[in-house]
Amino acid sequence: MSAPVRWFVPGRIEVLGKHTDYAGGRTLVAAVDRGVTTTCTPVDGDGVIASSSAVPGELHLAAGTDPHLPAGHWGGYVQAVIDRLTDNFGPLAPCRLDVSSDLPLASGMSSSSALVSSVVLATADANGLTGSARWRRNVADEADLAQYLACFENGMSFKELAGAAGVGTFGGSEDHTAMVASRAGQLGQFRFCPIRLEKRVGFPADLALVVAVSGVAAEKTGAARDLYNRASLSTREILRLWNGATGRDDAVLANALEADPGAVELHSLVSGDDYLTRRLDHFLAESERIIPAATDALGSGDLEGFGAAVDESQEVAGSLLGNQVPQTVALARIARALGAVASCSFGAGFGGSVWAAVPGADAGVFADSWLRGYRAEFPVEAARATTLITAPGPSARRLD
């Protein structure tokens, strides 16, 4: 390591695809023009000095050493990166990591995943790991990179690169795929386990994406993390029942559907459990029907059809998946009443943000009206709410 290295990783908007990726399902995603920048600078001494523009002070971190930080502290994510890179590639050179972000925190725009990914890319690049034979052998393309970045959070092994504790969330690689495989002005429809691009569709140039941060934090800690993990682990339980009954060894729910296209046997296996039944029905609706319909409608210029598909996604997120709060439901409803082409909550759920597609020329006025309407129904949360205007942007990149 001889000179500072800077990497920018964007946040992302999950247009559609709530809790589908880790079960092998589809998502429709885009990177945005905001994100996290990490600068890795060589220093004398030992370990890693880490600082964030959002938090005063510095952290002194070392691989394999517990920094004793509170749950959810940003430094815990940096520690997880240092530990995993050291385990996978050997000791890191002493460095300073300076992190800055213009993403709203706990908003559903994947600020934590962008933080982790930017620290990984800057640190790996500065240490020469990305040019090593071991890296090239395991991280050969965008799909590999997205999957490996996700493993820093979920703790799973990837090819030759052994797993570790991660950060305690049992999610998939949708966020990371959007961050490293997006194209400006387009939405990407991806399928997962393994990651593969199904199609890209242009986002109308005269539309903007307005995001309302609800003021209800979408934290992946404590009780909220437990709810998030329940949604994830329930797909594993459905798969356990399926493999046990059929003698198969399918890895994800989407594999089981290949053998049971109408989900007749799957439904029979979970019929005695209301939550598992709703979880299965949500996956079938969101991944197998709604997302292809929305992508096709947008690709053909049918904005009314696109809006109708998005409306259904919002409805089944509440009635089947159960990851909505009254505030996000209200924001989507208010946006549509104000004339948005489409509007939907996104992210892990249990708070977070809602996006709305509106004419770019009207985006500022719309954002103000949206907040006023929200304030009338939820004055306490609206006091913490914010809006931003964005558009589908390019993927992660090194900054020279």
Give the pLDDT of residue 353: 92
User: Which of 167, 202, 237 is where one domain is finished?
Assistant: 202
At residue 384, the 3 state secondary structure works out as coil
Averaged over 56-81, what is the pLDDT? 93
Per DSSP, helices labelled H in 199-301 are 222-246, 253-259, 264-270, 274-283, 291-299
- Residue 325 within a domain: yes
User: Which of 182, 202, 222 is where one domain is finished?
Assistant: 202
In angstroms, rounded to a whole number, what is the distance separating the alpha carbons of residues 247 and 11? 41
In the predicted structure, residue 168 carries a pLDDT above the cut 90: no
In angstroms, rounded to a whole number, what is the distance separating the alpha carbons of residues 343 and 339? 10
Shared domain check, 16 and 143: yes
In 3D space, the residue among 395, 36, 42 whose CA is nearest the CA of residue 184 turns out to be 395
User: With pLDDT > 90 as the criterion, what percentage of the chain qualifies?
Assistant: 84
Strand partners, 343: 356
Averaged over 127-154, what is the pLDDT? 96
Number of neighbouring beta carbons within 10 Å of residue 213? 24
- C-beta of residue 52 within 8 angstroms of C-beta of residue 99: yes
Task: Tell me the pLDDT band of 5, cut-offs 50, 70 and 90.
Answer: very high
Give the pLDDT of residue 221: 47
Averaged over 279-299, what is the pLDDT? 98
Beta strands 186-191 and 48-52 are unpaired
Task: Tell me the pLDDT band of 167, cut-offs 50, 70 and 90.
Answer: low
Shared domain check, 128 and 69: yes
User: With pLDDT > 70 as the criterion, what percentage of the chain qualifies?
Assistant: 94
Give the pLDDT of residue 68: 94
Shared domain check, 222 and 192: no
Phi, psi of 231 (to 5 degrees): -60, -40
In angstroms, rounded to a whole number, what is the distance separating the alpha carbons of residues 373 and 334? 7
- Residue 39 within a domain: yes
- Residue 396 within a domain: no
Give the pLDDT of residue 224: 57
Averaged over 194-218, what is the pLDDT? 94
What is the CATH classification number for the domain harbouring 97? 3.30.230.10
In angstroms, rounded to a whole number, what is the distance separating the alpha carbons of residues 223 and 240? 25
Please report where in the chains the tokens 């393309």 appear, as a residue.
141
Averaged over 374-395, what is the pLDDT? 96
- Residue 360 within a domain: yes
- C-beta of residue 399 within 8 angstroms of C-beta of residue 37: yes
In angstroms, rounded to a whole number, what is the distance separating the alpha carbons of residues 371 and 351? 16
In angstroms, rounded to a whole number, what is the distance separating the alpha carbons of residues 293 and 309? 7
What 8-state DSSP symbol labels residue 22? G
Please report where in the chains the tokens 């959070």 appear, as a residue.
153
Residue type, 272: G
Averaged over 260-273, what is the pLDDT? 97
Shared domain check, 198 and 212: no
- Residue 399 within a domain: no
Shared domain check, 126 and 213: no
- C-beta of residue 124 within 8 angstroms of C-beta of residue 130: yes
In the predicted structure, residue 56 carries a pLDDT above the cut 60: yes
In the predicted structure, residue 171 carries a pLDDT above the cut 60: no
Residues 6+ apart with CB under 8 A from 336: 307, 311, 342, 343
Averaged over 132-148, what is the pLDDT? 97
Shared domain check, 262 and 183: no
Shared domain check, 363 and 283: yes
- Residue 264 within a domain: yes
List pLDDT tens digits, range 189-198.
999 999 999 9
In angstroms, rounded to a whole number, what is the distance separating the alpha carbons of residues 211 and 346? 10
Note down the domain range covering 168.
5-202
User: Which of 186, 202, 218 is where one domain is finished?
Assistant: 202
What is the CATH classification number for the domain harbouring 249? 3.30.70.890
* Side-chain-facing half-sphere of 289: CA atoms under 13 Å: 12
Shared domain check, 211 and 196: no
- Its pTM stands at 0.90
Shared domain check, 380 and 255: yes
Please report where in the chains the tokens 């800055």 appear, as a residue.
100
In angstroms, rounded to a whole number, what is the distance separating the alpha carbons of residues 322 and 18? 11
Give the pLDDT of residue 347: 76
Element of type H or E holding 61:
strand 55-61
Give the pLDDT of residue 98: 98
Task: Tell me the pLDDT band of 351, cut-offs 50, 70 and 90.
Answer: confident
Q: What is the mean pLDDT of the chain?
A: 93
- Residue 306 within a domain: yes
At residue 140, the 3 state secondary structure works out as coil
List pLDDT tens digits, range 92-105.
999 999 999 998 77
In angstroms, rounded to a whole number, what is the distance separating the alpha carbons of residues 45 and 91? 14
In the predicted structure, residue 169 carries a pLDDT above the cut 70: no
Per the structure, the count of domains in the chain is: 2
In angstroms, rounded to a whole number, what is the distance separating the alpha carbons of residues 255 and 234? 16
Shared domain check, 248 and 143: no
- Residue 400 within a domain: no
- When mean pLDDT is compared across 12-16, 270-274, 349-353, the lowest value belongs to 349-353
Shared domain check, 136 and 191: yes
* Side-chain-facing half-sphere of 366: CA atoms under 13 Å: 27
Shared domain check, 360 and 254: yes
